[in-house]
Structure 1
Amino acid sequence: MLPSNAFANSGVQVSRIGFGAMGLNGSFGALEEKEYIEALLRSFELGVTFVDTARAYGTSEETIGKALKEWNGPRPFIATKVKPWGKGGWGSPIPVTEAFPPGSIRQSVEASLQALQVEALDLIQMHQYWGIWDDEPYWLEELIRLKEEGMVRHIGVSIPDHRHDMAISLVRSGHIQSVQTILNIFDPLALDNLAPLCEKHGVALIARCVLDEGGLTGLLRENTIFGDRDFRNGYFDAGPRTEYLARVEKLKEFVPAYANSLTALAIKYALHYPAVTTAIISMQVKSYAEENIAALLEEPLPEEVFDQLFKQHRWIRNFYQKKYWR
């Protein structure tokens, strides 16, 4: 059985590794829908009980809905995100009145419920949340009303890039139950302030980009080419790529002594602190799912090894700058 954590103060247990469903829209290479469903079902079989998707991820919600119809076990915890209205706010802030005008949140939630074929969403998150939105609280009031009506069980936010600190005041407010942020070996800063505050205030912390879009798995080579529609196209070249490869190479000294693979090392690192409720990882390929889930069955990283990774292998940069601010 996979390790689990309580989600916020709800008492509901969720697996410490979650199925990140962004890949179900072809962001990391397109597959047939039946292959996505196979990966989802295999993840459920192996004990994954947390699925994270978004209304903006193409037909991801519909695919998950079909998988849920085929699944005979307990229904997993389903988290999705409100779809921005029109232009999104990646890279730099966008006024909440433009991204989510009044009434658009309810419309997005209703569409998600229909696509997923569920009666209520376990978690609804504001996609691309920016801290300046706190001065326009109507969006939070809409989320709270949806929770009171039973359409959603928990509410949270998803931070658009590495700037995790923008959610700190919202965590302290007591109005949300979760924060989703980037957290990996190269960028562990969320562990400094956000993680302990989430733990103190009973807010679930959802780690994403744990494998840094796959770069921390060792898949990247000097001559690796990604398709035009692949999210990773241009992502690793902001480093530049030679620097990225050199830093991943240094991580190999910990394999296999402390992890069976670079992938396992990255996953065990992100989940080292219990304050991290769950880590969502793209598992749209069944073999990826099996490899990622197996990492949780390994021994945890020794404290001194985690400390060495935390202090000596961080590489603070924002690759989204090249992707969105060209």
Structure 2
Amino acid sequence: MGKKTAIVVDIDEDYNNNTAIKEEHIMQQRQLGNQGLRVSALGLGCMGMTFAYGNNDEQQALNTLSRAFELGINFLDTAEIYGPFTNEVLIAKALKGRRDNITVATKFGFAITGEGQGWEKMTGVNSQPQHIRRAVEGSLTRLGTDHIDLLYQHRFDPSVPIEDVIGTMADLIKEGKARYIGLSEVSSATLRRACAVHPVSALQSEYSLWTRDPEQDILATCRELNVGFVPYSPLGRGFLTGKLTSVDALEPHDFRRSLPRFQQQAQEHNQKLVAQLTEMAHSYGITAAQLALAWVMAKGEDIVPIPGASKVHHLEENCAAANVVLTGADSDTLDRLFAPQNIRGERYANAEYGMIDR
């Protein structure tokens, strides 16, 4: 599969016939879209460093970011809503002296009030052209940069034609404030309309063993239109690691407590599937997280997952997944085990689903 990460792992001499870990050197690169955007085959989702999952440790996050750069990860995913705003400030600290070597993706699209904390500050969606410009200026300031490498619309705004949104984003490219544009959680129909205005380099959506929705049509549409695919939550918000066995272990303000799949009945059912994933992974001498990530990465060279990690050892574990060679037979086995009908619970509550373009 090309160049690999710098993590030292054992080499299985029979990797051509079995799922195994290959020798590695430097993180492989993958291309998103056809406009020239190349990034590390594995990105880093930064949301959890300051947002959504409870208590945060800035120095721990900075150490993780520094280690990510050492391991060849050059693709960071952030957003103004993460905090809100504090995530971009954190990324700016990590970028000092490294900006030219790192691809930064950030997002606009939420209406954010000055009251409340965390999600409480989000009052809906807003992709009005003037709001996009204000959001981008704010992101540029917080990130301490003069351009955003990949600018996403975070959530579809039904009150604003996507043509107007993309037109504004295209203008920002002409002005040098953005280099590439992307969309998140939009339908195939919306993506087609967007691409008719300006090339879209990346489409971001939740995709993992237990969230297979993109396989219905959006993955095929991305490939038809030469749009790269960036899966977020490729580890099922930590559930597919096998380490999260009870919602009671989560921080009081961890938003996963509100998700249907993390409620007791659904969790107990889904835990049985993860136990089988873990058993399969251990038979190859790898972790459940590594096998779950390898499954995503094996779905295509145009796919760049962005698992989150706020601790160095979790990051290193994830990076090693880039060296796992997954056979077609093993991929098919996982496809069947985690078939959509086998999963219990929706991935979002109704309020969050209301902001997804389906």
TM-score interval, smaller chain: 0.7 to 0.9
The change in CA–CA distance for 1:258 and 1:19 in structure 2 (over 3 A counts) is same
Question: 2-side partners of 1:154 and 1:250: how far apart?
Answer: 40
The change in CA–CA distance for 1:13 and 1:172 in structure 2 (over 3 A counts) is closer
The change in CA–CA distance for 1:287 and 1:252 in structure 2 (over 3 A counts) is closer
The amino acid across from 1:67 in the alignment is: A
| Contact persistence 1:167–1:179 (CA under 8 A) | no
| Contact persistence 1:187–1:314 (CA under 8 A) | no
Please report the TM-score for the alignment, with normalisation by the length of structure 2: 0.79
Structure 2 residue 31 is matched with structure 1 residue 3:
no
The amino acid across from 2:32 in the alignment is: F
Q: What does 1:219-258 correspond to in 2, within 5 Å?
A: 219-222=243-246, 224-235=248-259, 236-237=262-263, 240-258=266-284
The amino acid across from 2:317 in the alignment is: E
Structure 2 residue 203 is matched with structure 1 residue 179:
yes
User: What's the offset of the Cα at 1:311?
Assistant: 2.8
Aligned length, in residue pairs? 313
Query: Could you list the per-position Cα deviations for residues 83-108 of structure 1 after superposition, in whole angstroms to 9, with x for gaps in the alignment?
Result: 41248xx9xxx99xx62233010111
Question: 2-side partners of 1:164 and 1:312: how far apart?
Answer: 26
The amino acid across from 1:81 in the alignment is: K
Question: 2-side partners of 1:65 and 1:141: how far apart?
Answer: 28
Report the RMSD for the aligned CA atoms in angstroms: 2.7
The amino acid across from 2:348 in the alignment is: Y
The change in CA–CA distance for 1:172 and 1:67 in structure 2 (over 3 A counts) is closer
Question: 1-side partners of 2:282 and 2:189: how far apart?
Answer: 37
The change in CA–CA distance for 1:18 and 1:291 in structure 2 (over 3 A counts) is same
The change in CA–CA distance for 1:281 and 1:140 in structure 2 (over 3 A counts) is same
Q: Secondary structure at the match of 1:280?
A: coil
Query: Could you list the per-position Cα deviations for residues 221-268 of structure 1 after superposition, in whole angstroms to 9, with x for gaps in the alignment?
Result: 246432232122233117522112122112233122346010001100
Q: Hey, which bits of structure 1, 4+ residues long, moved more than 4 A?
A: 163-168, 322-325
The change in CA–CA distance for 1:279 and 1:239 in structure 2 (over 3 A counts) is farther
Choose from 138, 149, 153 the match for 2:179: 153
Instruction: Name whichever of 134-143 and 168-177 sits farther off.
Output: 168-177
Q: Secondary structure at the match of 1:202?
A: coil
| Contact persistence 1:80–1:125 (CA under 8 A) | yes
Aligned to 1:124: 151
Q: Secondary structure at the match of 1:207?
A: strand
Aligned to 2:288: 262
The change in CA–CA distance for 1:172 and 1:292 in structure 2 (over 3 A counts) is same
Choose from 34, 38, 53 the match for 1:13: 38
* Structure 1 residues without counterparts, runs of 5 or longer: none
Q: Secondary structure at the match of 1:290?
A: helix
The change in CA–CA distance for 1:36 and 1:199 in structure 2 (over 3 A counts) is same
Question: 1-side partners of 2:153 and 2:247: how far apart?
Answer: 37
The change in CA–CA distance for 1:259 and 1:234 in structure 2 (over 3 A counts) is farther
Question: 2-side partners of 1:36 and 1:5: how far apart?
Answer: 25
| Contact persistence 1:238–1:319 (CA under 8 A) | no
Q: Secondary structure at the match of 2:307?
A: strand
Choose from 109, 115, 121 the match for 2:142: 115
Structure 2 residue 222 is matched with structure 1 residue 198:
yes
Question: 1-side partners of 2:280 and 2:274: how far apart?
Answer: 11
Please report the TM-score for the alignment, with normalisation by the length of structure 1: 0.87
Q: Percent identity?
A: 26
Question: 2-side partners of 1:218 and 1:278: how far apart?
Answer: 22
Structure 2 residue 346 is matched with structure 1 residue 321:
no
Question: 2-side partners of 1:65 and 1:25: how far apart?
Answer: 13
